[in-house]
Amino acid sequence: MKKKTNKKTKKNNKMSLPFKVLKPVARFLSQEVKRLERRKQSIATEDPFNDTRRISDNAASDTDIAEQVGHERAKALEKQLNRKIIQLKKALSRIKIGRYGSCEKCGGFIDTDRLMIMPEATLCIKCEKKKEK
């Protein structure tokens, strides 16, 4: 007789990577968060709207448009960096609780090649493809 596997049972099986593997990953992710935080600060200083001289400046309309574009660019980059930082911090917390490298949907292992490219991945390829449909 063939034994049926319950999806719920499969999801509850705790599968985790060895600490020896996770320690350098955690170190890399922490360094990446710090690097992105520094980049975010750098972008904030480049934002034309943060320049106090701008308030008293009676610049031409084309200068004002350039400042608007520069501000919008800075805000878009900041938003993108914030999203990435959140994903990396989530990956770090998954390492701490012993769930890093396991799929949030099916509970199976996420392919190590996928984690090398995208260390913040929380879904295996199969579940990611299902999500995209």
Cβ-contact 121, 103 below 8 angstroms: no
Query: Mind listing the pLDDT tens digit for each residue in 51-102?
Result: 666 565 565 556 677 788 888 898 999 999 999 999 999 999 999 988 999 9
Segment 113-123 shows an average pLDDT of 91
CA angle 77, 110, 83 (to 5 degrees): 15
Q: What one-letter code names the amino acid at 73?
A: R
Query: Distance between CA 51 and CA 48 in Å, rounded?
Result: 5
**Which domains are seen in the chain, by residue range?**
8-132 (1.20.120.910)
Q: What one-letter code names the amino acid at 61?
A: S
Query: Mind listing the pLDDT tens digit for each residue in 25-51?
Result: 999 999 999 999 999 999 888 887 776
3-class DSSP state for residue 100?
A: coil
Q: Residue 105 burial by CB count (10 A; 0-12/13-18/19+): exposed, middle or buried? A: middle
